[in-house]
Structure 1
């Protein structure tokens, strides 16, 4: 199993998710068996230092090649591959013209991919949404990329409605590159999707549930709990608001989860949060 020169232990990845994919959560998903973990969106112009201990796929967003070469040079040894986001449907993406809102600017897309490919020997990929320009963009990407990530919802759909599986199959049929499928992947459908695509990305089904990768890969290990997350979060000095946010996510599937989330929401300090979760 490979993407370009990258050898992978399995075909099941943690999808890129803003806010969710902090370093502690990514490390847990990798430990649980994810074949590859993705960061959230990173701007090549952001001077903030990144923590990449899980050697993730680093996903960038931009509207020009400015800063891309230097950014790749800075982090190239710490990542498994480089991914260019062409799928973000958010209001912020609309305001600044990146993600799915960049689909009309084919010239800039090609220039960015060209610079990415010239700046690294690591694999380069894109993650793209369904649009009238998607297939045309994929043809451009084939010149520079080692795989295509497809989320077959439109910008208008956001994360609602049904993903267009037939469109993804059309992408798979028309490209020579490996295809990574993204869109409502879960424990019930991943086997069927892996019969159709080279790889799958697990997104929302993994929020607060890194153990989903244990179940999908058959890895033998103890269940991962919020206590495991907290240990890593303290190691990486994550902000309290992030830890609190993830604590709420980890209440999924727990008894009286709604009441527990309300208590977590009202917590004002890490010590208070630990008491609520019986961790102190």
Structure 2
């Protein structure tokens, strides 16, 4: 498997692939790969001739320096996992910060039509400018036909779709369903940092989401939100940062349901110092 650390190297390799009219799929990651990432890669392999997996911990999307420093970096293990799937049809782009940012570690400012100010945007200052900056840069370097993103980061997915639309980028964004552990916990690279008691408690998040979905069929949106907040108010280990019900298209919080609209519940929870997010379609 070829692992490239410089954009000139991988663009040259991809130019040769595209010269044969082969399609390229991109799976952007920050590494510490788990089965959820690998499902994205497997889908990309089905739908494209060549797949690029980027492995890059992007500094500009972290509002918490401690979180950036503690984020797991496991390049050798990641490459081994990818080689087990396909050593021939996967390329890895694992650049340095300087290679991506050309010595200027600054996030570009974006207008995502207000999507960036909801949910995560209220709690993580500048986060989506950082996300937009790195994804746009990866798209410019790799120039994929398709790019694959998990729905666990649903707001990020919506923002990337908006960026592609507004910048008229000829890339198909492929959303992929949340991949969960057997206990329901949404797979995340952060899960490996959970202490045993918090790992055991964390499935409560998805259990509460599924109950909220059931209640949403018969109860008001405000009533469901209050119920979820009460569930976490007495939990001994998990601290709720937010639970909201939003319009799936605008991501704006709702207080009343309307017919013909799709809604989704979003949640962020602290398990000790590990921040976990999840979401679920409600109708």
TM-score band by shorter chain is 0.3 to 0.5
Q: Normalising to structure 1: TM-score of the pair?
A: 0.33
- Higher strand fraction (1 or 2): 2
Q: Normalising to structure 2: TM-score of the pair?
A: 0.33
